[in-house]
Structure 1
Amino acid sequence: MTVNDDSFTNWMHREEIAESMIPIIGKLHREQDVTVLVHSRSLVNKSVVSILKTHRFARQIAGEELSVTETMPFLRALTTLDLGPSQIDIGMLAATYRADGRGLSVEEFTAEAVAGATGENKIERRDARDVVLYGFGRIGRLVARLLIEKAGSGNGLRLRAIVVRRGGEQDIVKRASLLRRDSIHGQFQGTITVDEANSTIIANGNEIKVIYAGDPSELDYTDHGIKDAILIDNTGRWRDREGLSQHLRPGIDKVVLTAPGKGDVPNIVHGVNHDTIKPDDRVLSCASCTTNAIVPPLKAMDDEYGVLRGHVETVHSFTNDQNLLDNYHKADRRGRSAPLNMVITETGAASAVAKALPELKAPITGSSIRVPVPDVSIAILSLRLGRETTREEVLDHLRKVSLTSPLKRQIDFISAPDAVSSDFIGSRHASIVDAGATKVDGDSAILYLWYDNEFGYSCQVIRVVQHVSGVEYPTYPAPVA
């Protein structure tokens, strides 16, 4: 047998194992609300090839490939346990087991590592929490996709309605079509039908009422059977407490804004300050996509080295608030053609850092350039550190943060030398550290942070909503602080 034959035989063997994983992962998710992860990446509803690629990605971070032959025993071990709702990272189980020298069996080690999610320790499955989307633009439709994807067992979050202004004939059909197909993010994973008579979009069995209204004051959500709901405002029309509080109508319990909040509205970056949310907070902001991209790496660097000052330069994809061709715009330069120009503009991300990370005392300045790409941006974060270090030390620190720390869902890490912006479309992380571009000289560090300003940000929004709704289930093994 040739080397090529050996490689192909090995591939087919791993395909077979990955295929056998799918029903186990699906059953755990549907019946027990258990989400199976590999290095913080979900394997729920993934294909055979996607499962294999997710395992292989560990090579870029940890330096060696993770095989399904290593993780499958841990997945089988999970099926023997009385598990409650949780997220279980079989990649981390395999890695920590490899480093454990006690001679435990896989079954014994797994039972010990996830003990907090089993037996008397497990949390009860919660009733579904209603969610309403106010607005149905770029972020709204991606948030809708994520809510539908995560409906899973029927517990957790349940998208009940979207609120929009009527756009004309066949309005609901056209909105369903925009949910079904997206030029950047591709096809919706599932089926979508429209019930025009009842003003309902049915997506993967989820009945989503389309409510037409021009103003929050017109609405009583209890008329549609909605109660105790979280409303996600993705219009950006109101950003202060007074404006957003208009949404606190019958049936709505909390309001989450997908834009920077003004005044005393808390700006929340999940992974950094979501634990500061109080049970009686009814109006919250998820800050901006750029704030979400830079705050987690800033925290990681400040915790390890101290940050004395910094500047962020954002090279940002164009957005719908710009013009296709030159036309009037209230901003100075945004009226110029977005697909034809680089456009210097402002960013509030630097000033927003203080709200999300008040313990960081360093002054952070910022500026931004809009460029002719439709999605994925990069933040160039230039830092003066509290002590001298090396490039190797910084990269090793950020690699470990992306793998094992409480920020591992926010910070990703890539060492591919040929990575470009389109490679990060669909990333679920708030930002991705580009190892090859990182520069360190003594107490000066420059980080290049990619981020999908649409999808990655939408994932952060969902994490905040899960947290405030009480359906953010614990992860095992627990991240290393």
Structure 2
Amino acid sequence: MTQRAPIRVGIMGFGQTGRQIFELASRSDDIEVVAIADIGKPEILHYLLCSEVEQPERHRLEGNFLVNERCRARLMEIDRPAEMPWDIFGVDIVIDSTGKYREREFMASHLQNGAPRVLLRTLPADHIDRIVIPGLNADSVSVDDRMISAGSATTSALALLLSSLGDRFAIECGSMTTIHAFTSDQALQDYAGSDFRRSRSAAKNIIPNTHEASLWLGHILPAFDGKILTSALNVPVQEGCLLDVNLIMRDADVEVEQINEAMRAAAARHPDIIGVVEDPIVSSDVIGNPLSLLFDAKGTIKAGANTVKTLSWYENLGHAARLLDVVRLYHALDQQQEAA
């Protein structure tokens, strides 16, 4: 039997998400990372990768190539999409994991330089072809999609929670606050930036922040369009995030155990994406978890007649895994078209 060629992936941005994507791909049997664009020097990128994986000896630096038993990826010291010649690497898709180039013009640069598709690890800044959340709307994708987003770790967790509960209960409205690990664009010391609060030290403050999930939720879950307010608190932990969601239920008879049972059923339907934890865990316990949503059954509370509060955990590794799920999804569509 002829072995199928691997999916050839390019990565723009070799920060935490880019490194996680590379590590996951290197342990897969169907994805090969062939090129990485990042402004960092190759020896530093290799050093950072090896500092956070379980088996650093698997990854070698050979000149300008990052090599392991699965991938031989060319490292390109490039900062902007318009500078990266994807056509010479024969990529099937590019994952832009920078978090910076969210506008259509930058996504178009990837396409113009030879990428058949570009997949954002973040929410987009303007209209694109599709936002895809595995486990939720994967059946909506089209082979004609070129500019795609996989949402964000927070958006995916929220959408999966709302969909799982919305299938069982009528939800009038709600609010979400993500208690979020600090991010690489925050200053570790007080430093004047474009936002007052985000100019304060990420290492010693809880910093209130906005979150864009509410702006795009209607594109993913039309039934919740305009019904959910979203915000964030960036806190001084490096990894591990908590989703705090308050929902107003139409039916006052909905009880805590019914909510928990609905989430257990959702986890049974999507065991690789959703989980339920019955133990009293904390944020460090979720580090390394590849799920998009880990529902905390002990955190469910009912207040008054109609308000239900839920807690769920997630971390960035789960989002990196879902990005590769989206890559596989579009590759399967392309193969179906070729076979037709």
SS in 1 for 2:321: helix
1:352-402 Cα distance to aligned partner (Å, 9 max, x none) = 211211233561002211111001111111111232311112212211211
- What is the distance in 2 between the residues matched to 1:355 and 1:459? 22
Among 252, 277, 282, the residue aligned to 2:115: 252
SS in 2 for 1:187: coil
Q: Which residue in 2 is equivalent to 1:397?
A: 262
Return the TM-score normalized by structure 1: 0.66
Report matched runs for 1:310-329 at 5 Å: 310-329=174-193
Q: Which residue in 2 is equivalent to 1:470?
A: 332
Deviation (angstroms), 1:276:
1.4
- What is the distance in 2 between the residues matched to 1:264 and 1:435? 36
Aligned partners of 2:277 and 2:295 also within 8 Å: yes
Deviation (angstroms), 1:469:
1.6
- What is the distance in 2 between the residues matched to 1:472 and 1:413? 34
Deviation (angstroms), 1:125:
6.0
- Asked if 1:179 corresponds to 2:49, the answer is yes
- What is the distance in 1 between the residues matched to 2:51 and 2:334? 29
Aligned partners of 1:126 and 1:471 also within 8 Å: no
Among 284, 306, 317, the residue aligned to 1:422: 284
Among 99, 102, 116, the residue aligned to 1:239: 102
- What is the distance in 2 between the residues matched to 1:210 and 1:139? 16
Structure whose residues are more often helix by fraction: 1
SS in 1 for 2:167: helix
Deviation (angstroms), 1:205:
4.5
Among 314, 319, 326, the residue aligned to 1:451: 314
Indicate the percent of aligned positions where both proteins have the same amino acid.
25
Q: Which residue in 2 is equivalent to 1:341?
A: 205
Among 192, 201, 214, the residue aligned to 2:59: 192
Deviation (angstroms), 1:434:
0.6
Aligned partners of 1:132 and 1:230 also within 8 Å: yes
- Asked if 1:149 corresponds to 2:27, the answer is yes
- What is the distance in 2 between the residues matched to 1:145 and 1:269? 21
Q: Which residue in 2 is equivalent to 1:296?
A: 160
Paired residue total: 332
Residue type matched to 1:270 in 2?
Answer: P
- Asked if 1:331 corresponds to 2:195, the answer is yes
- What is the distance in 2 between the residues matched to 1:414 and 1:205? 33
- What is the distance in 2 between the residues matched to 1:250 and 1:235? 17
Structure of larger gyration radius: 1
Deviation (angstroms), 1:160:
0.4
Q: Which residue in 1 is equivalent to 2:229?
A: 365
Q: Which residue in 1 is equivalent to 2:77?
A: 212
Deviation (angstroms), 1:190:
5.2
Unaligned runs of 5+ in 2: 336-340
Deviation (angstroms), 1:187:
2.9
Q: Which residue in 1 is equivalent to 2:37?
A: 163
- What is the distance in 2 between the residues matched to 1:240 and 1:271? 26
Structure 1's 125 and 304: CA in aligned 2 closer, same or farther, altered over 3 A?
Answer: farther
Instruction: Indicate the RMSD between aligned Cα atoms, in angstroms.
Output: 2.1
- Asked if 1:229 corresponds to 2:107, the answer is no
Q: Which residue in 2 is equivalent to 1:273?
A: 137
Return the TM-score normalized by structure 2: 0.91
Q: Which residue in 2 is equivalent to 1:408?
A: 271
- What is the distance in 2 between the residues matched to 1:378 and 1:359? 24
Aligned partners of 2:10 and 2:91 also within 8 Å: no
- What is the distance in 2 between the residues matched to 1:163 and 1:430? 26
Residue type matched to 2:301 in 1?
Answer: K
1:307-344 Cα distance to aligned partner (Å, 9 max, x none) = 11010011111111111111122122111111111111
